[in-house]
Structure formats: structure tokens, C-alpha cells
């Protein structure tokens, strides 16, 4: 927020009672952490929520009742009717009809659609298959520590112990992100299907996803094969990607240039490459997209939604800013 010069008069940080009383220092400034209660939202313009679903379901409606616009990064309200699910580069118009609550999409969905949506605008999307390669930071700080510890243990000949994941993640792949559902898909895979339909406004879109946790610290990657209504043209597809805000084309295989998570950590745009005609679909394109799931897949997208609202005069001065 500070790095993007968001127009804020005052920033307030709220957390659970356990964290209240601590301080967070950023850019030479100390920000005290207060306990989040319903009363603290009175007089605020925007609240950026990044708590668990149960906390969000309790506090977010109470914040809205007090006149605060809530932009929520959890999955609590994403599929609720009347709650906009927003990626500003894709469906900004939907945010303008908010009723005090706006949802931020799942990280893998956000990254995938930064490559897929420009092609949908050009050729008309019918269906797509996606395989995700999701970094461990998506599971939190404990998962980062687990990958680091297991890598060191393997290098020193020690047994690799797992606490965060059911199996070792170092030098391994886990085709298991979130809980399994009755149909064999995971909840993460269901999110990609349902959220893609809502964001792109294609209610009958057909999606099949396999979400995989990989031994990468940061930035998710997604391999996508998509079928379209119209005949596809790869050069036109490349132009569409390169001209789409928030994405950049990295597609020079002759020089081994393609997006990689190592080079898209802590970067604003998502990288799209390996564009080619899909040999299984009559009108198909396969591609590879990489993005920082902690930025575009979470915090950055949340702030971009706040920027969108502010630029269109739909909120006051800024995020968690006092009106007093």
C-alpha cells in the first residue's frame, strides 16, 4: 500500500486479541496492532480482510453495517450471490455494484485468468483444463520452513519429517491442495472452476483442474489447455497477452525464455509463455502462466480493488482511513 502510494490519511492494523499490543515496523514507521472488534470499523472507509473464513463471516458483515467497505481475501463470500468477485483487469464493472463487500479470488484462479482472459476476449472460451504448480508459501510460513528444513535434512542425510503436509515436499510433488471432495476433486480445484465462471461471467464454462503442491518457495505456475469458439491464431494470441494490463509475454523458446517462479516472485505482472496450438482441441491453445500468489493472487489484487474503488469515487480517502 505504501509502495503504491495509495491515498491514505491513516492506516490502522487489527488482529486477534492474542496479537493486539504488538507493533509492525515498515518503511521507518511503527504501526500498533489493535484487537479487531465490531466497533473498530466505525468511521473507516475501507477494511482489507485477510483472516480465516470464520472470523471474516463474523466481522465483515458488522463492518459493512458500520459503513465500511470490506475487501476480503478469504473464501468466505466469494461465491455468495450479490458479492462481486473481482480481478480489476478483468471485471472492474462488477465492483461498482458492490453492497459493502467485495471478494478477492483464490490465488491460483487469479494467476490462471491473467493468461486466459485475454484469449477469451479474442476467441470466446468454451472450456479449459488446468494443472497448477503451487508454491509452499500458499500454505503459510510453516510450510516455507518445512521445505527449507527438509532440503537441509536431505542434504545432510537426515530423515525428512513432515508436519504441514502429509508427505515430504522437498524433492517431491503432492497432487493434493486443500481437502478432497466426494467427486475426487479437491476444494482448490472446485474454486478454480466456480470462481473462473463468476469472474469471466461464463456460467456454463467447463473446467477440469488438478492442483499440485511443488517444492518452490514462492509464485504459482499454471499449465492451461483451452478450447475456444473461434479459430485461434497464435500471433494474435501473443499480441493479446502482451497488450493485456497486468500480464507480460515471455515466449521466446529459441532462447529458452519462458516465465518461471524464481523470476516472478515479488513482481506485479504475471508472465505468460509457451503459447502454442493445442493438438487435442480443434480450436485450442496451450500456454504457461506464472504469478506471485502472495501479490497478484492475494495482497496486490486486494489493493488494486481498493484503488479501483477510490479512482471511481466509490469510497472515501483510502484503506482503513479514518473519516474523522
Per-residue HEC secondary structure of 160-195 comes to: CCCCCCCCCCCCCCECCCCCECCCCCEHHHHHHHHH
Q: What is the CATH code for 108-293? A: 3.30.360.10
Predicted confidence (pLDDT) at residue 102 exceeds the cutoff of 70: yes
Residues 21-47 have a mean pLDDT of 90
Which pLDDT value is given to residue 324?
23
Please state, in angstroms and rounded to a whole number, the distance separating the CA atoms of residues 240 and 117. 10
Residue with cell 463470500: 77
Please state, in angstroms and rounded to a whole number, the distance separating the CA atoms of residues 161 and 178. 20
CB atoms within 10 A of CB 321: 21
Please state, in angstroms and rounded to a whole number, the distance separating the CA atoms of residues 310 and 319. 9
Residues identified as active-site: 107, 220
Q: Decide: 249 and 260 in contact? Cβ < 8 Å.
A: no
Minimal CA–CA distance to 56: which of 40, 72, 42?
Answer: 72
Please state, in angstroms and rounded to a whole number, the distance separating the CA atoms of residues 213 and 208. 17
C-alpha cell at 241: 497477452
Residue 133 pLDDT level (bands cut at 50, 70, 90) = very high
Any idea which fold 13-77+298-311 has?
Rossmann fold (3.40.50)
Please state, in angstroms and rounded to a whole number, the distance separating the CA atoms of residues 203 and 126. 11
Please state, in angstroms and rounded to a whole number, the distance separating the CA atoms of residues 89 and 61. 26
Question: Any idea which of 38-52, 107-121, 193-207, 243-257 has the lowest mean pLDDT?
Answer: 38-52
Q: Write down the domain spans for the chain.
A: 13-77+298-311, 108-293
Which pLDDT value is given to residue 196?
98
Please state, in angstroms and rounded to a whole number, the distance separating the CA atoms of residues 87 and 201. 12
Please state, in angstroms and rounded to a whole number, the distance separating the CA atoms of residues 302 and 291. 15
Predicted confidence (pLDDT) at residue 248 exceeds the cutoff of 80: yes
Predicted confidence (pLDDT) at residue 318 exceeds the cutoff of 70: no
Length of the chain, in residues: 324
pTM above 0.85, yes or no: yes
User: With left for phi above 0 and alpha for psi between -120 and 50, is residue 140 left, alpha or beta?
Assistant: left
Full strand arrangement of the beta sheet holding 247-249: 206-213, 125-134, 220-228, 284-291, 270-277, 247-249
Minimal CA–CA distance to 222: which of 254, 267, 192?
Answer: 192
Rg (the chain; Cα; Å): 20
Residues 189-198 have a mean pLDDT of 98
Please state, in angstroms and rounded to a whole number, the distance separating the CA atoms of residues 83 and 57. 13
Predicted confidence (pLDDT) at residue 316 exceeds the cutoff of 60: no
Rounded to the nearest angstrom, the gap between the alpha carbon of residue 284 and the centroid of all alpha carbons in its chain is: 25
What burial class does residue 197 get, using C-beta atoms within 10 Å of its C-beta: 0-12 exposed, 13-18 middle, 19+ buried? Answer: middle
Q: Decide: helix, strand or coil at residue 219.
A: coil
Residues 137-165 have a mean pLDDT of 97
Predicted confidence (pLDDT) at residue 317 exceeds the cutoff of 50: no
Amino acid at each position: 500500500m505504501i509502495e503504491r502510494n495509495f491515498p491514505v490519511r491513516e492506516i490502522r492494523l487489527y488482529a486477534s486479541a492474542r496479537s493486539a499490543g504488538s507493533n509492525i515496523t515498515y518503511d521507518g514507521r511503527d504501526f500498533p496492532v489493535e484487537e479487531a472488534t465490531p466497533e473498530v470499523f466505525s468511521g473507516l472507509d475501507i477494511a482489507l480482510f485477510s483472516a480465516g473464513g470464520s472470523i471474516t463471516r463474523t466481522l465483515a458483515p458488522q463492518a459493512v453495517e458500520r459503513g465500511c467497505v470490506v475487501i476480503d481475501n478469504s473464501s468466505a463470500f466469494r461465491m455468495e450471490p450479490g458479492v462481486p468477485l473481482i480481478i480489476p483487469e478483468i471485471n472492474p464493472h462488477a465492483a461498482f455494484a458492490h453492497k459493502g463487500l467485495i471478494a478477492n479470488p483464490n490465488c491460483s484462479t487469479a494467476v490462471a485468468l491473467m493468461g486466459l482472459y485475454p484469449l477469451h476476449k479474442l476467441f470466446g472460451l468454451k472450456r479449459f483444463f488446468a494443472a497448477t504448480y503451487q508454491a509452499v508459501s500458499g500454505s503459510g510460513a510453516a510450510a516455507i520452513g518445512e521445505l527449507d528444513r527438509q532440503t537441509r535434512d536431505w542434504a545432510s542425510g537426515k530423515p525428512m519429517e513432515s508436519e504441514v503436509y502429509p508427505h515430504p515436499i522437498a524433492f517431491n510433488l503432492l497432487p493434493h491442495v486443500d481437502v478432497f471432495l466426494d467427486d475426487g476433486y479437491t476444494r482448490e480445484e472446485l474454486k478454480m472452476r466456480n470462481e473462473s465462471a463468476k469472474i469471466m461471467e461464463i456460467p456454463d464454462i467447463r473446467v477440469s483442474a488438478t492442483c499440485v503442491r511443488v517444492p518452490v518457495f514462492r509464485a504459482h505456475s499454471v499449465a492451461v489447455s483451452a478450447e475456444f469458439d473461434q479459430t485461434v491464431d497464435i500471433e494474435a494470441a501473443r499480441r493479446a497477452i502482451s497488450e493485456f494490463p497486468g500480464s507480460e509475454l515471455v515466449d521466446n523458446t529459441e532462447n529458452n525464455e519462458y516465465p518461471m517462479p524464481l523470476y516472478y516472485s515479488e513482481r506485479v505482472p504475471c508472465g505468460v509463455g509457451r503459447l502454442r496450438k493445442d493438438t487435442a482441441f480443434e480450436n485450442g491453445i496451450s500456454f504457461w502462466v506464472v504469478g506471485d500468489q502472495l501479490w497478484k493472487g492475494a495482497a496486490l489484487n486486494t489493493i488494486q480493488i481498493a484503488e479501483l474503488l477510490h479512482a471511481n469515487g466509490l469510497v472515501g480517502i483510502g484503506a482503513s482511513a479514518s473519516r474523522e
